[in-house]
Structure formats: C-alpha cells, structure tokens
Amino acid sequence: MKRERLANDLNFRWHCLIVGWVGIAAALGADSDRRPESQGAVVADVDRLIADLGSQQFAVRERAQAELKRLGLSAFDSLHEARDSDDIEIAIRSRYLLGSLDLRWARDDDPLAVREFLQDYGDKTVTERGNLLEQLAALGDGQGIAALCRIVRFDDSNLLSKRAVLAIVKQTMADDAAVADPQLAETILDELGPSRRLAADWLRRHVQHQDDLEALLDFWEQVVRDELETFHLTPELSAPDIVRDLLRWQADLLERLGRNDQALAVITRTIDLLDGSREQLLETVEWLIHREAWSLVEQVAERFSESFNESAILLYRLAEAQQNQGREELAEQTAARALEQNQGNHQEHILAAYALQERGLFEWAEREYRYVLQLGPTGSQHDLRARFLFSEMLHDMERDLEAAQTLQNAVDAMEKDPNIAHLSRRMGREPGSIRSRMSYFYGEDLRRRGQFDEQRQRLEEGAEADPTDADLLIAMHRASQSDEDWHDKTRGLIASAVEHFRQQIRTGQQAVAAAQNEELRAIYNRQLAGSKNQLAWLVSNTEGDFDEALRCSRRSLELRPATAAYLDTLGRCYFAKGRYEQAVRVQRQAVQLEPFSGQILRQLELFETTLKASREATDDGEAVDHSHDADEPT
C-alpha cells in the first residue's frame, strides 16, 4: 500500500542555481537599456495607437483598435495600463482588446502536469486561477516556472502576477531547491520579454542579482518597503499573503548572510499580518517550526490562545515546539489538552492522528488513533478509517503483529455483519483487500520470528482473498525456505497481477481520453498513476520487464509530481536495473518529502549500502554493470 507525493531526475542545489544564472545576469543590465531599437519602436507605436483609441474621430478609434488587435501580445503591457485610463473610451476599448488577445497559457513542450493545470486557464475566475498557480508552484523542480512566468506577464490580476513571482522565488530559496532546467534564467527572461509590469521587474532584477546576495537583499528590502506602503495606502493593490511572503523572503536572505537577529525581527513582523483563522495560523506555525523558531510558535499561541484552545492540531504544534526546546513535561501537558479537545468527534481526532504521524510524532499519533477505536463501534465508518490508517503506521514502524490485530477486528466485524463489508466498499476498500493486508502483516511478523511455514500459510490465505496485493506477492517472492512448487505458484500470481494492472492502465487511459471535464480527467489521471505505480512496484521488487516498470514509474510521476511513494518506486526500479547511483539520488528525494517514513528510510539504507559495495567492488577490479537506458539522462 504505497502512499503518495515527485521530484524530477535533475536536482541542483541553491548554489548551482546561482552559478547557472551568473553569466546571464552579468549580461542583463537594465532591461530598458538593452531593448532593441525595433522593440522600442513597437512600444512607441502601441502607445500612440492607445492614445488614438480616445480620438474624437470614430474612424481613427476604429483603425487604432484594429491595429492594436493585429499587434496582439506585443500590445499587452500598454493595454493593461490603459484599462484604468481616465478616458472612458480608452479604458473600454483597452479592456475589450485585452479580452480578445489570443493567449496560449499551455504549450506543447510544457510537462504534462503543467498542460493539465493550464487547460482553460484564461476562462477561470481569479480564485480558481490562484488555486492553479499554487498547484503549479507545488510541482517543484522548476517544472512550472515557465508557466508561472506567463502568469507574471499576462494574467489580468496584478495580485496573481505578484504571487507568481513569489512562487518562483520560493523555489530558489530552499537549500534543497530542485531546478529542472539548467538554463532557467534564460527561460525566465524569455518568458518575461519586454513586460513593464511591476512583478516582472521584481523577477527580472531577482535574476540580475543572483550572484550578489548583498545586492539581492538591498533590492528585496526596497520591494518590501514599497509593498508595505502600497498595502497600507492602497490595500486593493496588495494583499496580506503577498506582504507576508515578501517578509519571509527577506528573512531568508538575512539568515543566508548570517544576520539571524535581523531575520528574527523580520519574521516577528509577519505575525502582525495574522487574522486568527485556523488555516492561516496552522500554515504560519508550520512555517515557524520548519525554521525552528520555537519561541515564536509560543508567541503566536499566546496571542491567539482562543483559536489554539479550540484546535487539537494547533495545540499539538505548540507541544512539538515545547518538546523541541526540551520542555518535555510542558509538552506532554499540552498534548494531553489536545487529546481532550473535541471529545467524541471522530473525524477531528483522525485528522490530528494523521497530522502527527506525518511529522514523526508517533506516540501522540497512536494515542489519538486508539482514542478513536475506543469510541467505536467497531465497523463504523470512522472506526474503519482509523483502523486502516493506524495499521499502516504500525506496519511502517515494523510492529506488524499489532497492525494485523488492528485489522483483525474489522475483518471479524465484516464476517458478522454484511453491512460493514458494504460500508467498506463504499469507502473504497474491498473486504478481500483488507483480509489480504491483515494476512500480509501476520506474515511479516512470522517472518521476523523465523516461523517460515506459518508465514507461507498466512501469505497463501492473503493471496486467496486478494491476488493483486503487490506487497503480499513481493513477500511470497522473497519467502525463505520455499520449494519449486511455491516459486512456480508465486510466479503465476505475479504474472496475473501484472496483467491485471496492465488492464487497469488501459482502462484508465481510455477514461482519461473520454473525460468530459477537467475534474473527471484529474480523477482518472490519479487512478491511472496509481495503477502504473503498482505495476512498477510489483515488478521492480520481483521479476518481469524492468524497462516496462521504469516507464510506468516515470509516467506515474508525470501524472502525480512530488509523490514520495512514487519516488520510492522509481528508486526501486533503478535499483532493480543495477543503477545504484540513480536509485540513491531518487530515494533521497523521497526522504526529503517524507522524512519519517520507515519504508522509505529503510530502502534508502539498502540502496546506499549496495552502492558502497558496488564502488568497492569496482575499486577491487570486479566487473560492475552501470548500464543506462538510452532515453534516460544520467
């Protein structure tokens, strides 16, 4: 049961980004000084034509409008400025022309995920476009940067234009930032073109100063001052999140220059922008925890004590901050308060448990899961959901007997009451898959105890319940002290399961092609990615066509970027092909996304150990296969 999140094959750290941009920045200079004469002439012609839109003569107005329409995107910046003209005629005609421009938000050479996000982008509301902007930024690895630059330049909303710049900057500010295109700066400058928008100037000058952090800091400090003034004097032209992200970027630059006290002062200013909403508080607290600003977490909790006292998740974040300061007793008291929140609210406690699990706070997560199970009744929707999640956490911690027993209660309840089995199906879990998962967990516990005959018996029971459970089939493939009949049976089951996943993939591809809208297409693509990942995971851990597995794994990541479990699979595919360096590199990306996953960490340890042994064997003169696929950059 593999969980989800991509990072691509090229991974450059922050200093690599700077190196890639230095040459371009040196040649950049001031944009206005470097424009070709012909470009300046076009701008002058556009400005003259826009003035003609307000002519008293109808024929002059019509000719100017027709000529501006012919110029298309070359006239965008001037038209965008003119849409707010005091001359009503100029404003109306400029708005009309802006709406008639043929903007191609998606391009054929964009990654698949980008093309899907940008489909019908121009027809969506500002809120919808903002959501898509966030999804483009979340792709990471520079995949969405070219598209974000188009938003900077052409989106009708000045706020979205600014947010797109900050999304790009955010990708360059992380120490582990991944940049898919070594010519990223050129891409940015090409996409921005001669744009005169304020946000475009921010981004252009950001590129210009990449090789000089002091100059970069000076520039962004001025941007922050200007934007704060805009926010206070003309709030409709800015927004709290824009000011907040600018301050965060300024703080990051100060920390890079070793000015931690100044950075802390800047971070503190971001607290003044909070409105007390739970979503905003949670995002801010998690950002502060990521920066290990423990005292500021407590400051936020004190300032918004009412909101914290009503939210278990916020209280747990406070407890985490207290724990990281070595205040264990106080942290336990706060965690106890969190457990007491929303008594009887199954859903809130499940959400809290999963949030704790993702942060590696397993003791508190277990407490929350067990609380939900105590609420009962066994077989209710909340009980089943908690059992499914809790059992997987226990398995990841290698507490497989407890994981199996957690599911055993659900299996027993389904056997007694067919309605519970029906409910499980409605929740997306076939009863057979639950039984199979339980048998797999029992088998893993028996394997660790060295009871191999009993392990095989449990695995056979699981295969009868669900012959497509990839993890169970992998366990059968690896089962110790097995005879040839067992291996033949296992090979047959694996082949059948692989064909099952292939059929799922074919069906999924047809569903995607026939999808009537973007929402359905996204659902089908998610399912398709899951099927491809399952095939790749099964084959790469057992036997079969490793090249097919690798192709499926790559495709799953195209469909679902930033998915840790899918990267985990890609790492295994490289490992199966003997490409240990790539396996380690990809697995480290998975660990960055899910640093507390036992499965992902254990696989990384295996890959690193094997890579080290491979290098030592090479040093000793032994032959080692480092072959690469023709279609894969190395």
Please give the full DSSP string across 76-137, using - where no structure is assigned: HHHHHHHTT-SSHHHHHHHHHHHHH-----S-TTS-HHHHHHHTTGGGS-HHHHHHHHHHHH
Residue 43 lies in a domain: yes
In the predicted model, is pLDDT for residue 507 greater than 90? yes
The count of C-alpha atoms lying within 13 angstroms of the C-alpha of 512, restricted to the half-sphere facing its C-beta, is 17
Per-residue pLDDT, 172 = 64
Which of the pair, 330 or 47, is modelled with greater confidence? 330
Q: Give the pLDDT of residue 115.
A: 86
How wide is the angle at C-alpha 349 spanned by C-alphas 348 and 352, nearest 5°? 90
Task: Say whether pLDDT at 368 is over 80.
Answer: yes
Cβ(166)–Cβ(249) below 8 Å: yes
Residue 377 preceded by cis peptide, ω within 30: yes
Residue 602: name the closest of 585, 592, 587, 586 by CA: 587
97-147 pLDDT, tens digit each: 766 666 778 888 888 878 888 888 887 888 888 888 888 887 766 788 889
74: pLDDT confidence band, cut at 50, 70 and 90? low
φ, ψ for residue 408 (rounded to 5)? -55, -40
Residues 443 and 615: their CA atoms lie apart, in Å, by 35
Q: Which residues contact 15 (CB under 8 A, 6 or more apart)?
A: none
Whether residue 40 is predicted with pLDDT greater than 60 in this model: the reply is no
> Ranked by mean pLDDT, which of 124-128, 243-247, 339-343, 495-499 comes out on top?
495-499
Q: Per residue in 526-550, is it b (16+ CB within 10 Å) or e — as a string? A: ebbbbbbbbbbbbbbbbebebebbb
Q: What is the pLDDT of residue 174?
A: 54
Instruction: With respect to residue 64, please indicate whether it lies within any of the assigned structural domains.
Output: yes
Average pLDDT, the chain: 85
Q: Return the structure tokens found at 197.
A: 């928008």
What pLDDT score was predicted for residue 627?
A: 44
pLDDT tens digits for 178-194? 333 447 788 888 888 88
The predicted model gives 225-229 an average pLDDT of 94
Q: Domain span at residue 49? A: 35-100
Which distant-in-sequence residues (6+ apart) come within 8 Å of 79 by Cβ?
46, 50, 68, 94, 97, 98
Determine, yes or no, domain membership for 87: yes
443: in domain: no
Q: Three-state DSSP class for 183?
A: coil
Confidence category of residue 196, pLDDT binned at 50, 70, 90: confident
Predicted confidence band of residue 83 (pLDDT cuts 50, 70, 90): confident
Tokens of 58: 């109808």
Would you state the pLDDT for residue 604? 97
Q: How far apart are CA 391 and CA 383, in angstroms?
A: 12
What does R_g of the chain's alpha carbons equal in angstroms? 28
The rounded distance, in Å, linking the Cα atoms of 114 and 147 is 7
Q: Is the pLDDT of residue 442 over 50?
A: yes
- Indicate whether 30 pLDDT > 60: no
The Cα 288–Cα 309 span in angstroms is: 19
What pLDDT, on a 0 to 100 scale, did the predictor assign at position 441?
A: 98
Q: Where is 75: in which H helix or E strand?
A: none
Q: Give dist(CA 356, CA 340) in Å, integer.
A: 16
Count the neighbouring beta carbons within 10 Å of the beta carbon of residue 435.
Answer: 22
- Predicted pLDDT of residue 622: 56
Give dist(CA 159, CA 129) in Å, integer: 11
Whether residue 91 is contained in a domain is answered as yes
From residue 305, alpha-carbon distances to 53, 224, 297 in Å are 57, 29, 11
The structural domain count of the chain equals: 1
Q: Averaged over 52-79, what is the pLDDT? A: 75
pLDDT band for position 325 (50/70/90)?
very high
Q: Between 5 and 523, name the one with better pLDDT.
A: 523
Give the model's pLDDT for residue 179. Answer: 36
Q: Is the pLDDT of residue 557 over 60?
A: yes
Cα pseudo-dihedral 236, 241, 246, 251, rounded to 10: 150
366 and 390 Cβ atoms separated by less than 8 Å: yes
Residue 90, in any domain of the structure = yes
Give the CATH number for residue 59. 1.25.10
Q: Using CA atoms, how far apart are residues 143 and 136, in angstroms rounded to an integer? A: 8
Sort 489 into a burial class: Cβ within 10 Å, 0-12 / 13-18 / 19+: middle
| Residue 281 belongs to some domain of the structure | no
pLDDT value, residue 568: 97
Other beta carbons within 10 angstroms of residue 28's beta carbon come to 18
Separation of alpha carbons 257 and 489, rounded Å? 62
CA distance 157 to 566: 35
Q: What tokens appear for 389 in the block?
A: 């999640």
Q: Is the pLDDT of residue 506 over 90?
A: yes
- In three-state secondary structure terms, 249 is helix
pLDDT over 70 percentage in the chain: 87
- Shortest CA distance to 157 belongs to which of 119, 115, 122? 122
The pLDDT, as a whole number, for residue 29 is 36
586-619 pLDDT, tens digit each: 999 999 999 999 999 999 999 999 999 999 887 7
* 512-541 pLDDT per residue, tens: 999 888 788 889 999 999 999 999 999 999
What pLDDT was estimated at residue 376? Answer: 83
pLDDT in tens, 272-294: 888 888 888 998 999 899 888 89
Q: Looking at residue 94, what is its pLDDT?
A: 74
Residue 221 lies in a domain: no
Q: For residue 35, is pLDDT > 50? A: no
Q: State the Cα–Cα distance between residues 51 and 64, nearest whole angstrom.
A: 9
Q: For residue 217, which of 169, 183, 146 has the smallest C-alpha distance? A: 169
Q: What is the mean pLDDT of residues 13-18?
A: 33
Name the nearest CA neighbour of 142 among 77, 194, 186: 186
CB half-sphere exposure, 543, CA atoms < 13 A: 12
DSSP annotation of 632:
S
Dihedrals φ, ψ of 342, to 5°?
Answer: 50, 50
Position 582 pLDDT exceeds 90: yes
Of 177-186, 435-444, 499-508, least confident by mean pLDDT is: 177-186
